[in-house]
Amino acid sequence: MQPAEKRLTARVYDSGFADAHDTYNGMGAASDGKIYYVLSSEKHDVAAVMCSLDPATGQVKRLGDLTEACGEKDARAIAQGKSHVTFVESNGKLYFATHLGFYSIIDDMEKPGVPPPGFQPYRGGHLLAYDMASGKFESLTIVPNREGILTMNMDPRRGRIYGLTWPTGRFFRYDLAARELKDLGGFFERGENGKGATYRTICRSLAVDPEDGSVYFTTGEGAIHRYRYDRDGVETVAGDDMKKDYFGLYDPTSAGHMAYNWRQVIWYAAEKRVYGVHGNSGYLFRFDPRAERVELLQRITSLPSQRSGMYDQFSYGYLGFTLGPNGRTLHYLTGGPVYVDGKRVRGKDSTGKGESKGEENLHLITYDIPTTRYTDHGAIFFGNGDRPAYVNSIAVGKDGTVYTLSRVKRGGRTVTDLIGVKPEAPLY
């Protein structure tokens, strides 16, 4: 018989967006104490909306429609249906990017949606800035070739924004002062628009080294690429890579997994190193950019997952991985097996796209870097006993409350909305 799990109860917020669909990243905790987030849309004519929560009052405020923020309100083009990136704050502004949410499913894979009659194709992802004081949006630039922006990070010190596009995986940088966008090339064959030998899953997370301005990302083969600020170009890290036996065995040309890409990474200033998680295996690792060495630490998955030996239930692994407000404790929202009458409920063995393989058992994990203390705070439930699902975002409030975006049942429908959960034991 499986040991009884600790349970946490999540609070559900109502953002008033009936078309809200699954959101990946798309949120952050800001210096004003508020939680900012984007609720996505999968419809061709409904844009994603940006909202904020004031934890002190519990008030949710809708801040804007992303298609309007991009200046495309009357364009009759495929909507700006997503933000697929984490927010970066600099000088009172939140910087983020837009992505498309309307897809066509071809060979069990998501492809850019074919526009219905009377609509233009998706115009391309925008880099946006939101001024927290004035509440105004500014569109900085649009990426070429009608691609969305899959991941983004920023070097505030040097005024540079970096990103990868979808579906082909072009790496770009944008200079705020010069207002200059530069395409630095493709590193993923034909990316997620390819087929067979030309298919590659695109990296979902960029690590910025604030010391020298370098930016790091991976490929499905396990290579670690480094953008050199001093050279304004990209090179491959020679000393090490992400192709580790402990991560598993992958064919980078097949869909439905991240292969040897890292899933989510953060910069840990105290050690001047990158900490990250490999999606499918759930291994925590650190990467020392100066020594060019990747070191595996331990599986940071839930205790039930560790006992069962399962891969993550979400096919790509979970994105909800970040540092808490103390700057040293990692927070991770990850899955685990579900048992009914003592027997594990099995899901799909494989899938061709990023999705859950079956019912999810969401857990909150923390890992304190200096002490290496791992804690599974328990399984997360709603008050009615339902479980959160499709959770791939995270933001941690100043009081340690963990916020994310989850599917919830409301009015006979399933929508995505903001939820919050606070561990019973103090974290810091």
In whole angstroms, give the CA distance from residue 53 to residue 57.
Answer: 8
pLDDT digits (tens, 9 = 90+) for 330-382: 999 999 888 877 777 776 766 667 777 778 899 999 999 999 999 999 999 99
In whole angstroms, give the CA distance from residue 177 to residue 293.
Answer: 34
Task: Write out the two tokens for 216.
Answer: 């790091």
Q: Which amino acid is at 14?
A: D
According to DSSP, the residues that pair with 365 across neighbouring strands are: 332, 376
For residue 423, what pLDDT is reported? 87
H or E segment at 233? strand 233-236
Average pLDDT value over all residues in the chain: 94
Q: Which amino acid is at 74?
A: D
φ, ψ of residue 107 to 5 degrees: the values are: 55, 40
Any idea what DSSP says for residue 328? S
Give the pTM. 0.96
According to DSSP, the residues that pair with 407 across neighbouring strands are: 416
For residue 395, what pLDDT is reported? 98
Count of beta carbons in the 10 Å neighbourhood of residue 367: 21
In whole angstroms, give the CA distance from residue 90 to residue 129.
Answer: 10
Q: Are residues 85 and 152 in contact, defined by beta-carbon separation less than 8 angstroms?
A: yes
The number of residues making up the chain comes to: 428
pLDDT digits (tens, 9 = 90+) for 170-196: 999 999 999 999 999 999 999 999 999
Residues 6 or more apart whose CB falls under 8 angstroms from that of 344 comprise: 308, 337, 338
Residues 6 or more apart whose CB falls under 8 angstroms from that of 134 comprise: none
pLDDT digits (tens, 9 = 90+) for 98-157: 999 999 888 777 889 999 999 999 999 999 999 999 999 999 999 999 999 999 999 999
In whole angstroms, give the CA distance from residue 115 to residue 146.
Answer: 13
pLDDT digits (tens, 9 = 90+) for 224-275: 999 999 999 999 999 999 999 999 999 999 998 999 999 999 999 999 999 9
For residue 123, what pLDDT is reported? 98
Q: What is the DSSP string of 59-72?
A: EEEEEEEHHHHTT-
For residue 36, what pLDDT is reported? 98
Strands 373-381 and 7-9: parallel
For residue 426, what pLDDT is reported? 57
* Long-range contacts of 350-354, Cβ-Cβ distance < 8 Å, separation of 24 or more: 350/256, 350/315, 351/108, 351/256, 351/315, 352/107, 352/108, 352/109, 352/255, 352/256, 353/105, 353/108, 353/109, 353/110, 353/255, 353/256, 353/315, 354/110, 354/256, 354/314, 354/315, 354/316
pLDDT digits (tens, 9 = 90+) for 393-425: 999 999 999 999 999 999 899 999 999 999 876
Burial class for 342, CB neighbours closer than 10 Å (0-12, 13-18, 19+) = exposed
Distances (CA, A) of 167 to 191, 201, 258: 6, 9, 14
> Does residue 1 have a pLDDT over 50?
no
ω into 55 cis (within 30 of 0): no
> Does residue 4 have a pLDDT over 70?
no
> Does residue 281 have a pLDDT over 60?
yes
Strands 343-344 and 339-340: antiparallel
> Does residue 314 have a pLDDT over 90?
no
Domains in the chain: boundaries:
7-421
pLDDT digits (tens, 9 = 90+) for 16-43: 999 999 999 999 999 999 999 999 999 9
Helix/strand number for the chain, H first, E second: 2, 33
7-421 has which fold? Methylamine Dehydrogenase; Chain H (2.130.10)
